[in-house]
Homo-oligomer: A and B are copies of this chain.
């Protein structure tokens, strides 16, 4: 059960309710957002039903936790959420966000060169990994804090916001210091401690769908972040695991309109990881725009042949430029812009 307070609820009103909840033998989880305070009540819902809480002063609404996710649901908030990244840059509005960059940060010159090219090519946000989740311990694991510093330097030089992955609860503060957007990778979608940790920052979070996560589970994981008070969550479809072998994963584009039905949060698509073949990135990007994505995560590398990771799915800057041009036409055809 979720108790949502009115915007102007007083501290006293909130504390009164928490006391009452505890007296009933239930646990209260308070999350103070920028706009309002929300209290999650944990324990048998029957008890609460016998002791109505929505009549208490300051309370806006009481929502049963029958549907498993609450704060992320379209019921909870009718309008689309728009996540502000920086002045003039947001995700979830009419304008579709292009987030581009290499899979891994490899050197200052590499990230500098790519940043310049993708900004010129139309990207609004720079991506690049410093901590890389690799299935083998013997492959390149990312440059760590050195990479984050390179990313920050380039971000300042080109005045472009950045997104990068965080994999460890211990690194959240560190990564947050250097980047605008924290990314939770598919393998960590159900790393609940990490979700809570990023929920305690105010940073925008890109939450990627797990390799075998249902849409409902993705929304539940987002709920972890919102329940800690951070409502700046961007969901990301990046392909699910199936029996198909030609593509690395199966990009589930039906997740885009499905999430739009179920949640107010913006949703973006990462076609590069999903298909693992750069020749499929362009058609799938167009498809994503056509079915309503709020953004695209695109891997771009000046020299994919020499890339330290995922070379086979990275676009060349010139392909990227062409693609953005084509995407503009598709966006226009569905009433959006890039």
Q: Interface on A for B, CB 8 Å cutoff? A: 1-2, 4, 7, 29, 31, 33-36, 38, 40, 42-43, 46, 49-52, 54-56, 63, 65-66, 68-70, 75, 133-140, 167-170, 187-188, 190-193, 196, 210-212, 214-217, 220-221, 223-224, 227, 240-247, 250-258, 261-262, 274-275, 278-280, 283-284, 286-292, 304-308, 310-312, 326, 329-330, 332-334
Q: Which residue of B lies closest to A57 (CB)?
A: B305
Check A240 against B247 for contact (C-beta < 8 Å).
Answer: no
Q: Give the number of times this chain occurs in the complex, counting copies.
A: 4
Check B274 against A283 for contact (C-beta < 8 Å).
Answer: no
Check A136 against B55 for contact (C-beta < 8 Å).
Answer: no
Check B279 against A283 for contact (C-beta < 8 Å).
Answer: no
Among B38, B211, B258, B274, the residue within 8 A (CB) of A212 is: B211
Check B291 against A283 for contact (C-beta < 8 Å).
Answer: yes
Q: How far is the CA of A29 from the CA of B38 in the complex (A)?
A: 11
Q: Which residue of B lies closest to A196 (CB)?
A: B137
Among B167, B216, B262, the residue within 8 A (CB) of A193 is: B167
Among B192, B240, B283, B305, the residue within 8 A (CB) of A256 is: B283
Output the least CB separation between A191 and chain B (Å). 6
Among B4, B211, B289, B305, the residue within 8 A (CB) of A290 is: B289
Q: How far is the CA of A313 from the CA of B287 in the complex (A)?
A: 21
Output the least CB separation between A225 and chain B (Å). 9
Report, nearest first, the 10 A-B pairs whose CB atoms are least far apart: A212-B212, A52-B311, A290-B290, A287-B291, A287-B287, A283-B291, A329-B333, A286-B290, A187-B190, A257-B283
Check B254 against A280 for contact (C-beta < 8 Å).
Answer: yes
Given known A-B contacts A65-B138, A66-B35, A290-B330, A257 and B279 have beta carbons under 8 A apart: yes
Among B217, B253, B326, the residue within 8 A (CB) of A253 is: B253
- B residues less than 8 Å from A75 (CB atoms): 7
Q: How far is the CA of A255 from the CA of B277 in the complex (A)?
A: 13
- B residues less than 8 Å from A287 (CB atoms): 253, 287-288, 290-291
- B residues less than 8 Å from A330 (CB atoms): 290, 330, 333-334
